[in-house]
Amino acid sequence: MQKGEQHPFASLLRKCDAFPKQEAAEFFNRTSAGGAITLVASLFMALLFFSELRLFTRVNTVNELSVDTSRGEMLAIHFDVTFPRMPCAWLSVDAMDISGEVQLEVDHDVYKRRLASDGTPLDEGIKGKVGPSDQPVATQNGRALAEDKQKDPNYCGSCYGAQSREGQCCNTCAEVREAYRSKGWALLDVEKIEQCHHEGYKEEIDAQAGEGCHMWGDLHINKVAGNFHFAPGRSYQQGSMHIHDLSPFAGKAFDFSHTIHKLAFGREYPGMRNPLDGVEVQQQLKSADNAALYQYFLKVVPTSYSNLRNETILTNQFSVTEHFRETASPSAGGGQLPGVFLFYDLSPIKVRFQESRISFLSFITSLCAIIGGVFTVSGIIDATVYHGQQAIKKKMDLGKLS
């Protein structure tokens, strides 16, 4: 191959060049209209670029529905509720479900903080129930005397007919309660029980009158329909009946005004909203002798949330329907049990949220389409304007344009 001759392959590539080059600058004719179209096209292209960049960096959430096939799981309920006019000693938390499991006076992972009438905390929050240090001195002395008596090695307290075997002893108030519960009986008047006489429950109720209570904690229940409630008095299970002992509250009025700071069924995921968070209810009754029953019917929907790192959060959403009922006060010998009741049911449909983002290849493809499309359209507009101007100028030179 002689000097100056091109390689056959290079010559073939030159023939395939779709972008022929202009070597003589005088063949180009720049116009002010073309400059204006170029500036507008560049601004429009920049606008489309930043719009596409925003879509590329944004995380989208795609949801899909499926049948919930999980079995044997537990449901975690996180709650944080304030009762500004119900003392802690008056309240108990119970949970039950349609499988027959009952949790009475739940104190595991449940905390109470006594509040003054103006909402000021009176303690730092005590697990399960108010501690002995908050009871009257007379009650503590009475308890000490009872404990001395029960330390007698020959002491055998009566179970008051609830013993399950001959010779069974119930030396503490808790043992008497457990014996009654195992029989399915209600222990309605603890003041008549020797082991409970010095427990100080009645004195504690009177001492905390006029206070409020802040309750928070967790409940762990079976993943089946059921309810949990905040109600006055100690609870008992008698067969299939759920009973609260309201005998110490004779003549007392219940005010179940409440604020639900938080209620969640499981962990929270980004953007999650619980419809009862921040709900505040003030009790308003037609008669001061009546009591209030607040009912919340919740439809719980199993939910999973997967982020871009494929980390999955298993939780639940819920919808709610509220109902209020005013009844005669049970402390006056009638009506229904007052309180705040939350009934929940499980949906058979599961919702799955998946975070997604536009791929980088799709982003590059969109950018190429923007650049090519804008330049093509602006080129067509520029050519149309240029040839229009030339036609008008030609007519003006010939004097045909009046």
Report the alpha-carbon distance of residue 369 to residue 209 in Å, rounded. 74
Highest mean pLDDT pick, 126-135, 248-257, 258-267: 258-267
Residue 151 buriedness (CB in 10 A; 0-12 / 13-18 / 19+): exposed
- Indicate if the pLDDT at residue 139 is higher than 60: no
**What is the three-class DSSP state of 16?**
coil
Report the alpha-carbon distance of residue 199 to residue 60 in Å, rounded. 59
Output phi, psi for 350, to 5 deg.
Answer: -105, 140
Weakest-pLDDT range from 49-53, 198-202, 244-248, 267-271: 198-202
Predicted structure pTM score: 0.70
pLDDT tens readout for residues 306-351: 988 888 899 999 999 999 988 877 765 566 889 999 999 999 999 9
Q: Pick the closest to residue 368 from 55, 69, 111, 52 (CA basis).
A: 52
**What is the three-class DSSP state of 51?**
helix
Task: Give the number of other Cβ atoms within 10 Å of residue 19's Cβ.
Answer: 4
Average pLDDT over residues 154-181: 81
Report the alpha-carbon distance of residue 246 to residue 203 in Å, rounded. 14
Residue 149 buriedness (CB in 10 A; 0-12 / 13-18 / 19+): middle
How many separate helices (H) and strands (E) can be counted in the chain?
Answer: 7, 16
Output phi, psi for 193, to 5 deg.
Answer: -95, 125
Residue 48 buriedness (CB in 10 A; 0-12 / 13-18 / 19+): middle
Cα→Cα distances 204→124, 172, 212, 310, 311, Å: 18, 18, 14, 52, 49
Question: CB neighbours of 347 closer than 8 A, spacing ≥ 6?
Answer: 68, 299, 300, 301, 302
Weakest-pLDDT range from 112-116, 147-151, 271-275, 398-402: 147-151
- Per DSSP, 5 falls in state P
Q: What is the pLDDT of residue 141?
A: 44
Weakest-pLDDT range from 148-162, 225-239, 291-305: 148-162
Q: What is the pLDDT of residue 145?
A: 47
The overall average pLDDT reported for the chain is 81
pLDDT tens readout for residues 260-301: 999 999 999 888 889 999 999 999 888 877 889 999 999 999
CB 344 within 8 A of CB 318: yes
CA angle centred on 79, ends 77 and 82, rounded to 5°: 160
